[in-house]
Amino acid sequence: MTKVAMMGAGSAGFCRMLVEDILSFESMKDIHFALMDVDPERLDLVHRSMQRMKEEHALACTFSATTDRREALAGADFAISMIQVGGLEPYKLDVSIPLKYGIDVCVGDTVNPGGIFRGLRHVPALLDMIRDMQDVSHPEIIFMNYANPMAIVSWAMQKMYPDTTSVGLCHGVQHTTNMLCKWLEVAVEECDVLTAGINHMAWFLKFRHNGNDLYPKMWDKIAAEGPIRGEEYRFEMMKATGYFMTESPGHLSEYLPYFRKRKDLLELFNGPGFSGETAYYLNSCLQHREKYLEEMRELADGRKPVPFRRGYKSVEYASNIMNAKLTGEITRFAGNVLNKGFISNLPYDCCVEVPVFVDRLGLHASYVGRIPEQCAALCQSNISAQELAVKAAIEGDPEAVYHACLLDPLTAAVLAPHEIRNMVDEMLEAQAPWLPQFKRRSSHAPGHRIGRLPTGVKSLAVGTEVSSKKGHYD
């Protein structure tokens, strides 16, 4: 029997959707789902609701539940991660502390100080999972991760454990393709796309309908109608670079130094929700937390029938990957992998998002070559921060945390170096309970302790003047 370990199964809505996806394939009708979460209450709710779904809809699959990671992973052929270390409490700090310093985000879970700190929390947990997989899982297990920050955690996992197959999965390509096809009034199944770049900053390099380039039609439609309402950020970047991008507008705006640094620009480009609204995702999670738990209790207790859409398949990639590995029915998806020359003008061994094919032998990332220089440069501006975040998470190096935030494009557009250092120190202190790798460690860099400037300083203490030539001279 095939076994999949669902790590972080307390994320019940997303977990149930993936369960439906997996059961839509004949090859996995009798699969065993090992549900694992560190929160026993949420895990119990999910397990009981899944058991009721099995009984109400006469499903052949089986479920188990455990708070023990190794037990869930024992003998597993596949593992899927949807974890959120610490839940919403550290996430609130990810958003609120940078906002106090002037860094305004819509989502804040992948880049900027909040995304970097989420990476510091998630990397150790995911590396622990892989260590357990190597001990107790099937030798050819495929580990599919949905937890953000996608590039940082995928980079860390594949760097530290290259012999265990792991890949980062997102849904930006699928949702964006569906949106553009609807806007252009073409059937998505008749379209072909080639996207490549980094997670949340991949580019539609080719976009065709029955072999015909759709970009001219997009440009004509923009000229005639303007951009899709709520997509102003992405269309502005298409006008700037010549290529459309894969991530939702509010999230994308966090990757760039251009927009979220001034109130007038936020008022001009922001829309509601994921179109750019300040702290939207965090506020949405907080607002719906209790309602969500009550709905889960109703399903688990039998007060409501557990929905199951037989044959339903979402746009998520995980089930397609599993079916391809089991049956040899080849599938292709956009995967986050280490760059082994797949994108030739991005750094070797950084994390890139490229087309990946799957068959019985496993995952096979494909060569893209050079992407447009302006697209590569924007990707590179985030890769440098991601690399330092990986170093910080693995080594517990607080100075690397500072350097990662120092190089983050939006942070650098808003704050001076001393303000970034003060913000990072505040975040490290506030999030200490979730960052054990930094326990009793502080930066010993001279710049951390010598001549420190407080935030809001109005004047500088300077030494003696040293005569030198100033200005231009031959």
DSSP-assigned letters across all residues of 279-295: THHHHHHHHHHHHHHHH
Other Cβ atoms less than 10 A from the Cβ of 438: the count is: 20
Answer whether 15's CB lies under 8 Å from 82's CB.
Answer: yes
Out of 161, 243, 255, 317, which one is annotated catalytic? 255
448 is known as an active-site residue:
no
**pLDDT one digit per residue (tens) for the chain, 474 residues:** 999 999 999 987 899 999 999 999 999 999 999 999 999 999 999 999 999 999 999 999 999 999 999 999 999 999 999 999 999 999 999 999 999 999 999 999 999 999 999 999 999 999 999 999 999 999 999 999 999 999 999 999 999 999 999 999 999 999 999 999 999 999 999 999 999 999 999 999 999 999 999 999 999 999 999 999 999 999 999 999 999 999 999 999 999 999 999 999 999 999 999 999 999 999 999 999 999 999 999 999 999 999 999 989 999 999 999 999 999 999 999 999 999 999 999 999 999 999 999 999 999 999 999 999 999 999 999 999 999 999 999 999 999 999 999 999 999 999 999 999 999 999 999 999 999 999 877 788 899 988 899 999 999 989 999 977 666 655
Tallying the residues shown for the chain, one arrives at 474
Crossing angle for the helix pair 398-407 and 417-430, to the nearest 10 degrees: 130
171 is known as an active-site residue:
yes
Token pair 């974890």: residue: 83
Q: What is the pTM of this model?
A: 0.96
Q: Cα–Cα distance between 370 and 375 in angstroms, integer?
A: 10
Out of 171, 175, 418, 448, which one is annotated catalytic? 171
Q: Cα–Cα distance between 113 and 123 in angstroms, integer?
A: 15
> At a CB cut-off of 8 Å and minimum separation 6, what does 277 contact?
106, 250, 270, 271
Q: Smallest Cα–Cα separation from 286: which of 84, 91, 427, 85?
A: 91
- Collapsing DSSP to helix, strand or coil, 362 comes out as strand
Answer whether 383's CB lies under 8 Å from 254's CB.
Answer: no
Token pair 């804040």: residue: 108
Answer whether 282's CB lies under 8 Å from 95's CB.
Answer: yes
